[in-house]
Amino acid sequence: MKRFHVHVNVNDLDASIRFYSILFGSAPTMHKPDYAKWMLEDPRVNFAISRRDRAAGVDHLGLQAEDGTELEAIGGRLASADAVALAEHGTTCCYAHSDKYWAEDPQGVRWETFHTHGEATTYSAPVAQSESTKSEACCGPQSSCCGPKSQAA
């Protein structure tokens, strides 16, 4: 079963953690100096916030796949529509090791589809350069990771 994902860029992480903890009725399941995440069951959502070098507000939406097979099915649908903007395999981003497909809807909303293999000790890490990945730190201010930079911003 897939889990809906929302990632919001915030200016004040502590104030945002207080607000969302009250809204969701629970503390974050992951809390780092620049990032927090709630893995909620009701509603079934992976909600993350971070303090990055980007404008505050909704950064991207997504679908978190339960396994690699489910991710490849989503990636296949996106590829058949010529909608994959970036494919990442074995990336480290948001304190997790993941495979991802990034797309952008017709309005410029960025969508991340991903399967997480485990936790990481850093927000991001360089990835090996290949045909489908960039050799930059994931989610960095100049990185292609975390999807294409929206033209609608």
Per the CB < 8 A criterion, the answer to whether 41 and 68 are in contact is no
The token pair that represents 145 in the structure block: 């990771």
Number of domains making up the chain: 1
Task: Specify the pairing of strand 44-50 against strand 3-9.
Answer: parallel
**66, amino acid identity:** E
CATH assignment of the domain containing 114: 3.10.180.10
- What residue numbers bound the domain in which 72 lies? 1-153
The predicted pLDDT at position 81 comes to 86
Residue 76 CA to residue 118 CA, distance in Å, equals: 23
Confidence bin at 32 (pLDDT 50/70/90):
very high
Residue 67 CA to residue 2 CA, distance in Å, equals: 9
Span 34-73, pLDDT tens digits = 999 999 998 899 999 999 988 999 999 999 999 999 999 9
Question: Is the model's pLDDT at 151 over the cut of 80?
Answer: no
Per the CB < 8 A criterion, the answer to whether 100 and 5 are in contact is no
Residue 21 CA to residue 145 CA, distance in Å, equals: 28
The token pair that represents 84 in the structure block: 């994959």
Tell me if the pTM is above 0.85.
no
Span 70-120, pLDDT tens digits = 999 999 999 988 889 999 999 999 999 999 999 988 778 899 999 999 999
Sign of torsion over alpha carbons 66, 45, 78, 136? negative
The token pair that represents 81 in the structure block: 């529509």
**18, amino acid identity:** R
Question: Measured in whole angstroms, how far is the alpha carbon of residue 1 from the centre of its chain?
Answer: 18
